Amino acid sequence: MIKEANLVQLLDFDILLEESAKIHGHLCPGQVLGVKMSMLGLKEIGIEDPKGKDRKSIIVFVEMDRCATDAVQSVTGCSLGHRTMKFMDYGKMAATFVNLKTGKAVRVIAKEESRQAAKELFPEIGNKYAAQLEAYKIMSDEALFDVMEVRVKLNPEDMPGRPLQRIQCDSCGEYVQDMREIQRDGRILCRPCADAGYYEPAGQAIF
């Protein structure tokens, strides 16, 4: 017989997965991993109500721009716009959950071997993604993830709230917030002017 606490957890998982899939637009293995990763991370740092009473006590660092990130946002309520989600472009299926009140932080990493384990659990399913989807739902946290305690240094300019500073780039004239400017040879520059940006001008300004 399933213990009552475990039953509640299973029901929560189903609800959270359904909500995440609605936001993301479809159900996929990444959604399952992201929901489970978030539930585990929140539990490990002692966050019970991330969208309610604990909403100002959490910051999440995500290391992938994939489906799982939408699930992390859905479950935790953290977002780039609220400055409670930080995107680290590492290309890893991992996320770090930080309790701002206690300072406790854990990094949750999806195990690569869980892909093969999923295939072995459902050998009759020919499509590997469909097999992963079903397997990840029933696999234990220990089978899916590695968890490590970490320390995360958070600077004042990285915290939620109003910008601490706005300063003009000496080259392009655009304004930079939150101390993201670079000082070089006595000049204050935005990062695209100081180094290579992701864009380059392709003509005259439209407006």
**Per-residue pLDDT tens for 87-124?**
999 999 999 999 999 999 999 999 988 888 888 888 88
Q: Record the pTM.
A: 0.88
Query: What does the pLDDT average to over 152-177?
Result: 93
Mean pLDDT (the chain, rounded): 90
Q: Which amino acid is at 170?
A: D
How high is the pLDDT of residue 76? 95
Q: Which two tokens stand for residue 204?
A: 């005259």
- Of 3.30.1330.130, 3.40.50.1100, 3.30.365.10, 3.40.50.150, the CATH number of 4-155 is 3.30.1330.130
Q: Residue 1 pLDDT > 60, yes or no?
A: no
Q: Judge residue 66's burial from the number of C-beta atoms within 10 Å of its C-beta, 0-12 exposed, 13-18 middle, 19 or more buried.
A: middle
Which residues in the chain are classed under CATH 3.30.1330.130?
A: 4-155
